[in-house]
């Protein structure tokens, strides 16, 4: 016989499955939709990141992050920096210049001399103070990922590429890869 407790559990499971289905099902296309239309630059910069807290299994929200241009084809010591704080989903889509820097990440990449120009960057997650504020001991004061960006331009133009740096973060370990 079905108990009220079993019926409640079945109802919760059915609701969760419906939510998952909504998340994984593609949105219906309307007559005006254009799936190849590029996202506007205001929506995201060409370099983005995402951090998940593996200790809790949740996004690493409110985590301070610094993006630094380490070198360009014409210089090995640019060190132009940008700051951001991860959103509720643990993501950074746009960067704010630090100090005297006035150019945006898209503007720096658009000004490169060739469509296949290479620049070296670093993204640093300030994890020590972030974990400490949660009362969690962390081995890492910061986690820094260095990577090379090849390309320039504006989204939808020749030479443009999107670089996404995801980090799976724990107080004793981390891993990263080139995302999409």
- pLDDT tens figures, 48-103: 999 999 999 999 999 999 999 998 877 766 679 999 999 999 999 999 999 877 78
Buried residues in 19-31 as b, exposed as e (16+ CB within 10 A): eeeeeeeeeeeee
* Least confidently predicted of 70-74, 139-143, 163-167: 70-74
**Tens digits of residue pLDDT in 4-47:** 666 666 666 665 555 445 544 444 433 333 333 333 445 789 99
The CA distance from 65 to 175, in Å, is 16
Q: How confident is the model at residue 136 (pLDDT cuts 50, 70, 90)?
A: very high
Radius of gyration of the chain (CA): 20
DSSP conformation class of 75: B
Contacts of 79 (CB under 8 A, 6+ apart): 68, 69, 70
Q: Global pTM?
A: 0.73
What is d(CA 142, CA 164) in angstroms, rounded to the nearest whole number? Answer: 19
Who has greater pLDDT, 143 or 21?
143
């Amino acid at each position: 016989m079905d108990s009220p407790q079993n019926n409640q559990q079945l109802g919760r499971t059915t609701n969760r499955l419906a939510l998952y289905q909504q998340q994984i099902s593609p949105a219906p296309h309307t007559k005006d939709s254009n799936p190849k239309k590029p996202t506007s630059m205001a929506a995201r910069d060409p370099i983005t990141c995402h951090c998940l807290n593996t200790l809790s299994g949740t996004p690493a929200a409110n985590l301070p992050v610094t993006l630094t241009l380490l070198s360009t084809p014409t210089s090995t010591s640019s060190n132009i920096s940008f700051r951001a704080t991860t959103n509720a989903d643990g993501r950074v889509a746009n960067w704010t210049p630090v100090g005297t820097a006035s150019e945006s990440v898209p503007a720096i990449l658009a000004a490169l001399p060739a469509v296949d120009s290479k620049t070296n960057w670093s993204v640093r997650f300030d994890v020590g103070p972030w974990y400490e504020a949660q009362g969690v001991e962390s081995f890492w004061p910061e986690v820094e990922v260095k990577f090379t960006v090849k390309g320039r331009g504006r989204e939808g133009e020749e030479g443009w590429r999107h670089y996404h740096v995801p980090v799976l973060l724990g107080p004793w370990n981390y891993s990263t890869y080139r995302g999409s």
